[in-house]
Structure 1
């Protein structure tokens, strides 16, 4: 196993990892990728070998804004600032490393789901590029409305904003929760022309998120979705049903098999 592959990094808001997150972080270590986890709290249950760093090394996180939106909200800003500052490859904590990422890949992103819109769960970009510039400018200087919104979305946000209890960023999020994630990434990749660099879904998101339950099905054929190009397998924990977050996976399911292969004990890190 090569031990000097490109570094990967992610963000964790909270004090405890779920076993699915432990599994995904360790999978990158097992393929030789140095893993850094930027944290807001004192996380004690990260897999051995994961380097824990304070999230504030990259940016200050507005926890009140996180409370008004979601734990994943500010990660959409964080990932690009992290890439610009460190050059590491961004990985969501629910991205399982199937094969190591080639060192020569400068642009790492792909479509996902049934429609193929870009996702930003795994992202690699040059620290200085037009796409990075436009993404950071969007987050640092939020427009009145995202440029791609239609009249219906704008009116919906106006109704939310009129209540006066949310910040501008939170109002955008409440109107369309992906407006800071996949929607923004797709829009700005279209503006810069970098959408032409997108990989096919099988590279990073071989299983559509609509079929998320297959990872926990002992008779599911998860590997049937994989191709020779598959490098990462997104588990979509935001869409995982509460039962699977609170109970160990069934024997012979994909998640159970991967946990056994990597020495992760699901029962030791379930959602409470």
Structure 2
């Protein structure tokens, strides 16, 4: 395959990819996007063609903080530092490439779900812009509380900190898991006015998060959510039930059909 389109990149914390992650990374190669996977460990089961690079090329990964939060926690700052350093499009490892990203589209992000907030699972930004500056300043200089939080959220974090044992960043995460991801991205895009650049959910997140079981339903109608504008399909592995992670997808489900189409054997990379 000829990799002549815009590069995309992601982060993986851990030693092995799940088959859905293999599927999503390889789907971008299939459409001509060079794929770089920044890793904290020696990942051996990435699809052929994916370039493996140490995550330390972009930033150091505080594994103690990851252990207090989640494996995906630091991806929320990593993605912007990566974009600023390389200019690549950020893709979550559960974002399936339905059609290639336009070569000339400088801003790529969209709303998702049923509430209209932005998601940051697929992001392209100018390497120098006000939104980038504000996001990185937020992560590098954490406020006492995120500016958009209400009294209930602040009290929740205070209770967590009073119990002790967590850093300030971990306490924010424990109070609101998405405070470093979609919440922050939505807030700062509102402050800079760049929220007006957001694409509609059907472009990057056609299936709402609340309905993510549909990807494994052999009688589901996943493509019914797609439009002519759909470029990426988010598979929401963080919300996937354990049974789907530990077993191959059922025949004729979207996950099974895409694995067959792209050339991924689910049985070779299941969650143990």
* Alignment TM class, shorter chain as reference: over 0.9
1:75 and 2:75 are equivalent in the alignment = yes
**Equivalent in the alignment of 2:253:** 253
**Equivalent in the alignment of 1:243:** 243
**Equivalent in the alignment of 1:166:** 166
Let me know the Cα RMSD of the aligned residues: 0.7
Separation (CA, whole Å) in 2 of partners of 1:10 and 1:198:
21
Separation (CA, whole Å) in 2 of partners of 1:255 and 1:76:
26
TM-score by length of 1: 0.99
- Give the 3-state SS of the residue equivalent to 2:76 in structure 1: helix
**Equivalent in the alignment of 2:25:** 25
TM-score by length of 2: 0.99
* 1:227 to 1:267, Cα distance in 2 relative to 1, 3 A: same
**Equivalent in the alignment of 2:3:** 3
The structural deviation recorded for 1:2 is: 5.5
The one-character-per-residue Cα deviations of 1:37-64 (angstroms, maximum 9, x if unpaired) are 0000000000000000000000001000
1:43 and 2:43 are equivalent in the alignment = yes
Which ranges of structure 1 fall in alignment gaps of 5 or more residues? none
1:90-129 equivalent positions in 2, closer than 5 A: 90-129=90-129
Separation (CA, whole Å) in 1 of partners of 2:173 and 2:189:
20
The structural deviation recorded for 1:3 is: 2.7
1:88 and 2:88 are equivalent in the alignment = yes
Separation (CA, whole Å) in 2 of partners of 1:256 and 1:178:
29
Separation (CA, whole Å) in 2 of partners of 1:122 and 1:53:
20
The one-character-per-residue Cα deviations of 1:133-182 (angstroms, maximum 9, x if unpaired) are 00000000000000000011111111111122100000000000000000
